[in-house]
Amino acid sequence: MRCHIASALLFTFSLLTSSAHATDNILTDAEMKAGWQLLFNGNDLSGWKTSNGKPIQTKVEEGSIVPYKSGGYLVINEKQFGDFVLKCDVMWLDERCNSGIFLRVEDPKNPVHTGFEIQVMAGDKTGKHEMGAIYDLVTTSKNAGKATGEWNSFEIRCHGPNISVTLNGSKVSEINADEFSEPGVCPDGEKHKFKLKKEPRAVKDFARKGFLGFQDHGHKVWYKNVKLLELKK
């Protein structure tokens, strides 16, 4: 049994280290010139905190943020952002993986109902709760996620009411929040989960500026190369 555990740990470590590159968690000359910000330095969690205000209990692993057992529902950046392009890479080793990238969170203590979530999940299905979906709001056009153990690259654009998600080079979901004008209901007629003070809310009323972060949903997930470009209105 000990031999099997040791082998599994060694395999996990080799996957992480073999995919680590000298170019991880740094800005290219072109990115610096364009005004990109590096939100995570790959060495420590400076500029990050848990969504409940408690100290982050996890450390950086192989140049990655690991929200699992961090002490909060989210590990969030201390700054708030409105219109931007966010890039990050994500990988998991458990086929049951479930996590999320949260955007424009108005209330960090209630992120599920006051922000947008981009689904991070293993599997090959499409839907409102599958990889790359803008959670519970729109169905993905395709599942562009890679296999367990491989890095996935996200590019998420938020500009005014418009949010789009590009996964591994393919646009997989997008919405115009202004079209979600009816409380508790999507434009396709299906109900969504979002409420405020226990009452259904209209997605068009979501804040256009807020916190961003990564979710601990019970599975270990690694995030790196977290970069952001603020957009002019």
3-state secondary structure 67-115: CCCCCCCEEEECCCECCEEEEEEEEECCCCCEEEEEEEECCCCCHHHHC
Q: In angstroms, how far is CA 104 from the centroid of its own chain? A: 11
Mean pLDDT of 174-192: 97
Answer yes or no: is pLDDT of 6 > 90: no
Report residue 190's pLDDT band, with 50, 70 and 90 as the boundaries.
very high
Calculate the average pLDDT of the chain. 92
Burial environment of residue 199 by CB neighbours within 10 A (0 to 12, 13 to 18, 19 or more) = exposed
**Structure confidence at residue 233 (pLDDT):** 74
Mean pLDDT of 125-153: 97
- pLDDT tens per residue, range 196-227: 999 999 999 999 999 999 999 999 999 999 99
- pLDDT tens per residue, range 68-112: 999 999 999 999 999 999 999 999 999 989 999 999 999 999 999
Report residue 20's pLDDT band, with 50, 70 and 90 as the boundaries.
low
Lowest mean pLDDT across 4-18, 192-206, 217-231: 4-18
Report residue 19's pLDDT band, with 50, 70 and 90 as the boundaries.
low
Answer yes or no: is pLDDT of 229 > 60: yes
**Structure confidence at residue 105 (pLDDT):** 98
The answer to whether the beta carbons of residues 73 and 51 sit under 8 Å apart is yes
pLDDT over 90 percentage in the chain = 87
Which residues are 223's β-sheet partners? 65, 90
**Structure confidence at residue 186 (pLDDT):** 97
Answer yes or no: is pLDDT of 8 > 50: no
Answer yes or no: is pLDDT of 136 > 80: yes
Model's pTM, two decimal places?
0.91
Domains along the sequence of the chain with CATH: 23-230 (2.60.120.560)
Q: What are φ and ψ of residue 86, in 5° steps?
A: -110, 130
